[in-house]
Amino acid sequence: MQADYVIVGAGSAGCAMAYRLAEAGKSVLVIEYGGSDLGPFINMPAALSYPMNMRRYDWGYETEPEPHLGGRRLACPRGKVIGGSSSINGMIYVRGHAHDFDYWAETGAEGWGYADVLPYYRRMEDWHDGGRGGDPAWRGQGGPLHVTRGAGKNPLVQAFIEAGGQAGYELTDDYNGEKQEGFGPFEATIWKGKRWSAARAYLRPAQDTGRCRIVHGLAARLVIDEGRAKGVELADGRVISARAEVIVAASAINSPKLLMLSGIGPAAHLAEHGIEVVADRPGVGQNLQDHLELYVQMSAKGRVSLYKYWSLLGKAWVGAQWLFRRQGPGTSNQFESCGFIRSRAGIAYPDIQFHFLPLAVRYDGKGAREGFQAHVGPMRSKSRGAVTLRSANPEDDPRIFFNYMSHPDDWDEFRTCIRLTREILGQEAFAPWRGEELVPGPMAQSDADLDAAIREHAESAYHPCGTCRMGRADDPDAVVDPQGRVIGVQGLRVADSSIFPRITNGNLNAPSIMVGEKIADHVLGRRLPPANDRPWVHPDWQNSQR
């Protein structure tokens, strides 16, 4: 049970790292607690709400009561399965805005500016435009990760893009290319009608080299000897040894948990649980961020939405079409159009994202009805939370406290999101089908009314990050340096969304995989040459909101 590199977590970044290290001739052992990713609920894109709510595939985490959301406990799904959260997520592919990464570099993550990360996005992609336009010069071909576009045949999908243009916003052929800002087709990690997870893209090819193996078990603590990580002890007592390095890629929830169980974290908090301090790093578990969103729902006239498939017979037909022919609605996650806009003049790049869905339904698949909805929320909330230990027992869930809506600016930004969404859904493009507003509802107009709706209805977008923040080695609140090395411990790195200094625009799967790709190169002592591409920024952003 020994290899050059031991990776904790077969998730988005861990799978990417396993492949790149094995490809370079290194031996790799990947520790994963979850089981197989085979089965229709994971592989059928339209079934995405099922694995996210199945304890077989999901850790089943909940937040602590959130005081600014009426004391609600919110779901915090994380993949407990081969492929990690890439096997249970919504498959949406968003690189993030160029300015996100330039902010990382400016705040201490040297070498992580947009010029540095763009070559890794290109390397990892096998991009297909699906006949819906795009920006080939900015995209990658031949990489492990298939990125595709839905057919966009439902008239509501196109209506959302048209409505954005009618409201005066930009349109974009490719929000992952030169121009994020605007309305256009969504992209997804789907290929030939099936979910294309990190396990399919990276882990299977890594295993095919003969140099990568999976070890099933729960990582209980890191084995650290004289300040150097030597391996990982599993809950059943087995020890997996690393000749070169241990790489923790266990998620923004479980990576800080494992570090703290191993004595790396805030000294006072570790002492509370009787854990001997190896490295006093106050930032471990702190800086927790997420995207919070509200589903602005409208009822629809006619049978234009996906609700016509919601009966038992309809679902059976969709399932049969997918199972036997890889055709029909089952081949899409149904998020096929989107938008990125700025909330006001004076903001240089988008701070609001829209996911459009031609159905009115909750993310857990409940409450479906004839209608459509736009998921909306601020991209760069100033609220910060923390992941802390519940006990020193590795089998106990950590405490997850996002502290949502704790910053007063969040309320102003969220109200603006709702009002701008209503304006877009009120455009002429939706006139043939638009019914009444369901959520927040036509009576919710005042600030107080909208605040009440946010407290009652806002949900996580399932984008936790930031809990092992990357920064300068002399930054007391940083956990890892710009090469992913844990500050104060040798032979140990973290590579997943926990190292994000600040949350990126949009969904986090793509930047999480990119982190795995780039940290793998740091491990191997190499890097791709920086890019010179300049992203589009609205020419009058100082004075114009659209």
Annotated binding site for FAD: 81
3-state helix, strand, coil in the chain (%, to 5): 30, 25, 45
User: Strands 239-248, 492-494: parallel, antiparallel or unpaired by DSSP?
Assistant: parallel
Map residue 226 onto helix, strand or coil.
Answer: coil
Do 505 and 350 form a contact (C-beta atoms < 8 A)?
Answer: yes
Burial of 277 (0-12, 13-18, 19+ CB in 10 A): middle
Single out the residue of 293, 227, 287 nearest to residue 256, CA to CA.
Answer: 287
CA 121-34-65 angle, to 5 degrees, is: 85
Phi, psi of 185 (to 5 degrees): -75, 145
463 is catalytic: yes
Q: Is 346 left (phi over 0), alpha (psi -120 to 50) or beta?
A: left
Q: Tell me the DSSP string of 100-165.
A: HHHHHHHTT-TT-SHHHHHHHHHHHEEE--TTS---GGGS--S-SEEEEE----SHHHHHHHHHHH
3-class SS at 376?
strand
How many angstroms separate the Cα of 379 from the Cα of each of 22, 293, 351, 424?
36, 9, 5, 18
CA dist 388 and 259 (Å) reads 11
The amino acid occupying position 537 is V
Q: Which of 99, 146, 457, 463 is flagged as catalytic? A: 463
**Residue 519, C-beta contacts closer than 8 angstroms, at least 6 positions apart:** 13, 17, 247, 483, 484, 493, 495
Question: What's the Cα-to-Cα distance from 233 to each of 11, 15, 228, 444, rounded to whole Å?
Answer: 19, 20, 14, 53
Catalytic sites, residue numbers: 463
